């Protein structure tokens, strides 16, 4: 019986650990050779709109991004130039952020945004 309880505890802890991922910056190279800083900005804003992120230019080379979804919220800063862009975590609500890790949905949403931004760059 004690072995069964220990096994259940290990499985439960393993499943709980799978629900979060480390918080990292997402550094991306601009793969389209014809891009300028202005066209990268346009691709980012277009990608945000397609993925239903509320994004606005905050300062030169920085876009503030916000995603609200089913009571959860993500705030990011998107830093860019003509050759790279980086998505940096700023804040969140109801995503189990503890200073080092966050709900795995964060990674999924940011990666979806990256794919959409990258596809926008190839259509410009």
Dump pLDDT digits (tens) for 69-86: 999 999 999 999 999 999
Q: Is 7 a residue whose pLDDT tops 70?
A: no
Q: Could you tell me which residues are beta bridge partners of residue 11? A: none
Please state the rounded mean pLDDT for residues 43-70: 98
DSSP label at residue 90:
E
| Cα 65-66-71 angle, rounded to 5 deg | 165
Task: Give the H/E segment covering residue 15.
Answer: helix 2-17
| Cα 92-95-98 angle, rounded to 5 deg | 80
Strands (E) across 1-124 are located at 20-22, 26-29, 54-59, 62-69, 72-80, 84-93, 101-103
- Asked if 104 contacts 21 with a C-beta cutoff of 8 angstroms, the reply is yes
pLDDT confidence of 27, banded at 50, 70, 90? very high
Q: Which residue has the tokens 């389209």?
A: 32
pLDDT confidence of 31, banded at 50, 70, 90? confident
This prediction's pTM: 0.84
What CATH class is the domain 20-122?
alpha beta
Q: Alpha-carbon distance 62 to 54, whole Å?
A: 14
């Amino acid at each position: 019986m004690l072995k069964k309880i220990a096994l259940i505890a290990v499985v439960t802890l393993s499943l709980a650990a799978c629900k979060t991922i480390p918080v990292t910056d997402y550094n991306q190279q601009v793969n389209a050779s014809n891009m300028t800083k202005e066209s990268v900005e346009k691709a980012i804003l277009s990608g945000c709109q397609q993925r239903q992120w509320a994004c606005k230019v905050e300062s030169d080379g920085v876009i503030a991004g916000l995603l609200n979804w089913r009571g959860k919220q993500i705030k990011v800063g998107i830093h860019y130039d003509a050759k790279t862009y980086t998505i940096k975590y700023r804040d969140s609500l109801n995503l189990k952020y503890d200073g080092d890790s966050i709900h795995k949905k964060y990674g999924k949403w940011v990666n979806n945004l990256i794919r959409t931004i990258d596809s926008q760059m190839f259509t410009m």
